[in-house]
Structure 1
Amino acid sequence: MSDTADTASKRPYRGRFAPSPTGPLHFGSLVAAVGSYLDAKVNHGKWLVRIEDIDTTRVVAGAASDILKTLEAYGLYWDESVIYQSQRQSLYQDVVTQLIEQQLIYACHCSRKQIKAMGGIYQGHCKNRQYPFTDSALRLTQCYATSQYQDLLQGLIQIDPRLAQEDYLIKRSDGLFAYQLVVVVDDIAQNISRVVRGADLLDPTARQLSLFQQLKQPSPEYAHLPLVVAKPGFKLSKQNYAPAISTSSAKPALLNAFEFLGLKPEKALLSESIEYMLAWAITKFSLTTVPKATEIQVSQHPVSQDPQFAIIK
């Protein structure tokens, strides 16, 4: 991990759950929410919720409020006001302007199709062409390539050096800010000290660590939880039409999330309140007991109309 991350453990614990409002929460989302929540509470820290709605082309109307209501139904209450990326455009633009003034950004006209034809990794084709910034995608000159880092759960993560050295997009040609930029700017603004999230973001984390260095800010520690997959390589996701978790009968799914995270709960917990279940989990949870895998397969067993899951060992 980068040198600046060494200070993360010395800062007050501040974690976050940052869903995108592209649909309702599914079981994979619940695992990430519960894992990040429990780690924050075990460490006597703050747990924040951020709605990552920066990509307005994918936002589903009403999904953000539905996500918040679902978290409340599962007893997962956040400690500070929810922030929405769509309301923070000026903050992101200030950072882009700062990087432009440092001559670290250039305009790019390459399409995804062109980059794929060139091998899939952008190789600076537009770097010296001096295209105007208007109506162009903007790329950041990579000055702090990060090809490996230490994950608290997965251990040493190594990234393809060519990908690590890539000048990546921070603003799209349609004017939308790129995820890699906004997530780092938000983590800095919220003073996030640890990020607990799914293992699908192992590679992007290296790029985010490089941006923390570029902005001369301390980076969080990272712990990437195993992904919930329906079959190897096929994660539960909104894009894959994973079923929404129930808000009227939360306890079974919560119990299954505990099991997924290695807590070994007894079924007798189902007779207790959600508050009691979470309090029990806080006394048991540790990153050391979470399975050290990047994905775990589950099978779906419909009981009533609520999705129930059994972990396939």
Structure 2
Amino acid sequence: MTQKNTTQISEFLLHGFSSQPEVQRVLFLLFLSIYLLSLFGNMTIILLIRFDMQLRQTPMYFFLSYLAVADLGSATTIIPKALKNLLSHKKTITYSGCLTQIFFYIYIGNAGSFLLASMAFDRYAAICHPMYYSSLMSHKRCLQLATMSWTIPMMHSLLYTILMARLEFCNPGEIRHFMCDINPVLEVSCSDNQVINLVLMTEGLVEILGPFALIIISYAFVFYSIMKIPSAIGKRKAFSTCGSHISVVVLFYGGVSWVYFKPHAKNPGLQDIVATVMYTMVIPMLNPFIYTLRNSEMKAALKRVMRQHFH
């Protein structure tokens, strides 16, 4: 009988948010606003870089356009389903929908991590080796880094999706979260999870910490080179070229650290839910505004595009 229950599960119940209608209405309006701002901000970044020749030919903005695609994908993977469930009496996601959400959530999140590492390498090449920058960050090299940033995370995500698909689940499949992620879904599994836990502790750590280590190493060389600049104005100018990227890196890996590297609780509390909302919804919304509001080149490009298309 137990075996029958584990093999016939067709959907999961999601219990991440309050069941009080007034709270759900507030959350619906909040998440809808976040999603619309994410769409607007990231689409603006993508179109601006697509239509402005100067930005399109600059490696940093080449990667930024792909990061905006990743942020759009991240928000779209999570928020529409959360909005639908906030309006529904029964908060559910189908078994296939859960696996699909896991695949795209892991894939897009890790692609963003690799893209941030590529952007850090670009800053390293620009500041530490300015004489060789054009060869180090040629169009071919940028394409190679972008392809790697999307291909490696896809294989990583496919591995986990296949491992999750092999698990059996207990009825009722009540996930103590508002979305499908590996740890909350593993909590309702009736299978032996040793294999997937081992993969999480080995390949998973390498996949997450590898790009972060590259970012740290790149910026260690960058800061060392900046400190050797004799003038204070030169130092400020060099730091200003890294400011937006560093802000995004801190937000991204701050969210990753809270969600995945704090001690794992069986039933996530309010702080865990808020941290996941920040990581999956708020950060993809903030990234384009960080790059536009703090970046003079983006502001100048926006003015050029506005003049070209509206005058």
Q: TM-score, normalised by structure 2?
A: 0.23
**Structure that is richer in helix per residue:** 2
Q: Which has the higher contact order (CA 8 A, sep 6+)?
A: 2
**Structure that is richer in strand per residue:** 1
